[in-house]
Amino acid sequence: MAQHLIIMGRQGSGKGTQASHIVEKYGVVHVSTGDMLRAAVADETELGLAAKAIMDSGGLVSDDIINGIVAERFDADDIVAGGSLLDGFPRTPDQAKALLDMLGSRGESIAAVLNLDVPIEEVTSRMMARGREDDTEEAIANRLGLYEDQTAPLLELFGEKGLLVVIDGMGTEDDVFGRLCEVIDARMEPQP
């Protein structure tokens, strides 16, 4: 039975890099709702056209739309066989509930919610160091604040369910990946 992982982490936490290592080692399918939406915007699909303005303003695309695209993606054979690494989803308690309901009806489970923890001061200085024009200290603080507000209820929900594991995201890429593997190996049933 497919098992699923969720990865969470502030912008600048190294989440994207670690997600690709996890996908490579464990054969789970990377499901990034942000990537799916960006692809829809690039293809100018109906979804993309509706999502673009919301994404540009930093808001959240509606739960119904997001739950619909995830449910559709989960019907594909690769996920049925290999499980997934969810990235950027769930973002709201409603999405979390929809996910848990969907997995429940499939007889599948979440092996762990991996929360990659890099302190706010550190991610701020990493983003400032990139020197991008939209990365003023104020804009960064705003984005991080929004992220904290959005994720707090999810962390609480997954914590209550015993699924949440906080992983120290400081140190080298290898160090952090080693910590992630320890948790995944302990929580994910080996696949035949």
Nearest distance from C-beta of residue 128 to ligand AMP, angstroms: 19
Q: Closest by alpha carbon to 51, among 60, 132, 84, 157?
A: 60
Q: Which among 38, 73, 106, 126 is annotated as catalytic?
A: 126
Nearest residue by C-beta to ligand AMP? 34
Nearest distance from C-beta of residue 63 to ligand AMP, angstroms: 7
Residues 89, 95 contacting (CB under 8 angstroms): yes
Nearest distance from C-beta of residue 116 to ligand AMP, angstroms: 14
| Residue 143: active-site member | yes
Query: DSSP readout, 80-118?
Result: HHH-EEEES---SHHHHHHHHHHHHHHT-EEEEEEEEE-
Own/partner contacts of 93-98, CB < 8 Å, gap of 24 or more, are: 93/153, 93/154, 93/157, 94/63, 94/67, 95/63, 95/66, 95/67, 95/70, 96/154, 96/157, 96/158, 98/63, 98/67, 98/70, 98/71
Give the per-residue contact string, 38-57, with ligand AMP (x = CB under 6 A; - = no): ----------------xx--
Does residue 13 belong to the site contacting ligand AMP (CB under 6 A)? no
Does residue 88 belong to the site contacting ligand AMP (CB under 6 A)? yes
| Residue 132: active-site member | yes
Does residue 33 belong to the site contacting ligand AMP (CB under 6 A)? yes
| Residue 91: active-site member | yes
Residue type at 26 in one-letter notation? Y
Q: Which of 74, 89, 158, 177 binds ligand AMP (CB under 6 A)?
A: 89
Can you tell me which residue has the tokens 């929809």?
Answer: 98
Does residue 155 belong to the site contacting ligand AMP (CB under 6 A)? no
Nearest distance from C-beta of residue 98 to ligand AMP, angstroms: 10
Per this entry, what is the length of the chain? 192
Nearest distance from C-beta of residue 72 to ligand AMP, angstroms: 14
Does residue 66 belong to the site contacting ligand AMP (CB under 6 A)? yes
Strand, coil or helix: 133 = coil
Query: Which part of the chain contacts ligand AMP (CB under 6 A), choosing from 20-28, 30-38, 96-104, 125-133?
Result: 30-38
Catalytically active residues are 15, 91, 126, 132, 143
